[in-house]
Amino acid sequence: MDATRALIQAKESVEHDFLKQPNVTGVAVGYKYVRGKRTDQVSVQVFVKEKKKVVPKAEMVPPEINGVPTDVIERTFKLHPAMKKVLELEIMADTGTYSPVKGGISIGPCRAIGGFVFAGTLGVPVRDRATGNPLLLSNFHVMAVDTGWSVGDQMTQPSRVDTGSCPGGVVGTLLRAVLTSSVDGAVCTLSGRGSACEIVDIGAVNGTNTAALNMAVRKRGRTTGLTFGTVDSISLSVNVDYGDGIGAKTLTNQIGLQPDTSKNPKFGDHGDSGSVVVDSSGRVVGLYFAGSDDGSGVANPIAAVLDALNIDLCTGKSILKDLKDRKIEIKEHKREKPELKEAKHEKPEIKEKREKIEKPEIKESKEIKFEKLEKPEIKEKVEIFEGGPKIPDTDPKGPREGPQIPGIPTQPGGPLMGSGSLEERVAQLEATLGTLTAFIGPELRPELSSGALIGEPDFQKTSQELHKQAADAAQAKVTFDNKAGG
């Protein structure tokens, strides 16, 4: 990092003076070229419109700057929108209509400027930091074009150059546009279509990264499609002509790109402006906006773009904005309602009632009752299981049902425990306690006629129910005993 910083400082010490010279188009830190072939030596690159045999002394580039070697490269940088006269429109490159919209596709303004319509590339869907709403990212010179732009200008996908129409193809309206010393960017709103956080032919967007020399990169543009290259320059300052009304602009701290000529002759061309440049892992490093006739390209650092436009990249899942997708989200929320219903079962009064049933003295009574049931004469007629008394199937008179308690669901042999809602299970437990009292002597039964809660309506009601159920159970046992004896 210290070595890179020293190179950048050497470049910065001369770039102001060099960029004032009429023949200089840019200054950067990048690889030195010898007879058109790149070397591994890093240098201060000075780009010129034309290499001259005779150079005035004041315009000469020294062999070294602060001990760093220099390299003079013939290269002129041009903006890369596509523009056609309205009457000369023809189909070019990717003319598809995309829904959901993705990065790497044609987009352009509906308005014509000086009799021309413009086309560029939708770089990638993004999110507004202020509202979280989905937006579409491209260049200032693609969406706004010149100083005549206004918030609300309509954008069409595909562009009018690529057979798009207005209002039929309108995909959003211009929201923000910036042209600063480091960013050529703009965003429009999204309406009528969904969007996906991905780039055609590349795939999902996986965040951002900082460009570094010799980094392998890709981009997908409306004109040249998917192309491959490397980062050839960093800290690049370039002079670019923005035409009437704006004129020449100097953009600093840019990224210089070289094509991988084994795969494609150019990294980008006219109409590719607005493409995002990504590394081998799908992380965005820059926003493509210009190039030269030799196939090289220039991109804004993505961090500067995001900050200037107050946006963030969207990553992973698609942004769902149409009505159908909203219905899907609502349905997903509805699926959570059963959990809310279960929460209602924990009402304070029910919880208090359950705690009363689980009083230690009542539990103790149950234990005493089980000890009493261990007598042989009772075991011959009754077996105990969770849920109440049951007549054994070995009874010579056949299986019989246990006591029927009004309001409590039963199965052969007694009440069915462990099923139903919480209220039903509490009621079943109360009923079972009532049946147990038929086998417990009065001297062992819990005293329910007095206590701190005796005056509470719920307690009185529960007490009355228990007494009634106990009486019903006692009568059922007498009936059973009479039938068994007879």
pLDDT tens-place string over residues 119-162: 999 999 999 999 999 999 999 999 999 999 999 999 999 999 99
Residue 86's SS3 state is: helix
Q: Take residue 314 and report the two structure tokens written for it.
A: 């969207």
Q: How far is CA 44 from the centre of its chain?
A: 41
Residue 340's SS3 state is: helix
For residue 403, the model assigns a pLDDT of: 47
Q: Using CA atoms, how far apart are residues 314 and 206, in angstroms rounded to an integer? A: 9
Q: Using CA atoms, how far apart are residues 171 and 194, in angstroms rounded to an integer? A: 10
Show me where the domains of the chain are located: 2-74, 78-323, 348-485
Q: Using CA atoms, how far apart are residues 378 and 93, in angstroms rounded to an integer? A: 94
Q: With 80 as the cut, is the pLDDT of residue 104 above it? A: yes
Averaged pLDDT score across all residues of the chain:
78
* Architecture of domain 78-323 in this structure: Beta Barrel (2.40)
Q: Using CA atoms, how far apart are residues 423 and 418, in angstroms rounded to an integer? A: 11
Residue 19's SS3 state is: helix
**Residue 476 pLDDT class (50, 70, 90 cuts):** confident
Question: Is domain 2-74 annotated with CATH 1.25.40?
Answer: no
pLDDT tens profile 322-353: 334 433 333 333 333 334 333 344 444 444 44
Q: Is the CB of residue 290 less than 8 Å from the CB of residue 136?
A: no
- What phi-psi label fits residue 81: left (phi over 0), alpha (psi between -120 and 50 degrees) or beta? beta
Residues 120, 205, 286: CA angle, nearest 5 degrees: 50
